[in-house]
Amino acid sequence: MTKSKASRKGQEFSLEFRQQALLRAATEGVTTVARDLGLQPAQLYSWRAQARRHDQDDQAQRLELAEHARLKREVARLEEENAFLKKAAAYFAKQPK
């Protein structure tokens, strides 16, 4: 990666490149990795913030899906209970007093 900083301006990087750069930055330090890759440290900090937001969004979506599944199970259980109670009410309504 011998490109000058000027030639990198406006360049887009693949997701894999960003992830690898962030992994290296976590162990080697942002400044060192930025210098090695010819990036500004602010770019790595920005990528890290984006990754964290994306992780939080994914986690929130997983929680929503889990809650949705739980509510569907609850609705099914309540529908079964309601059907049973309707049958019981019909049975007792037929019984002579």
pTM score, two decimals? Answer: 0.57
Does residue 4 lie within any of the structural domains? Answer: no
Does residue 1 lie within any of the structural domains? Answer: no
Return per-residue pLDDT of the chain as tens, 97 residues. Answer: 444 444 456 678 999 999 999 999 999 999 999 999 999 999 999 999 999 999 999 999 999 999 999 999 999 999 999 999 999 999 999 887 6
How many structural domains is the chain composed of? 1
CA distance 39 to 11: 11
Does residue 25 lie within any of the structural domains? Answer: yes
Q: Which amino acid is at 55?
A: D
Structural domain that includes position 77: 13-94
Give me the pLDDT at residue 35, please. 95
Q: Helix 30-37 crosses helix 15-28 at what angle (to 10 degrees)?
A: 130
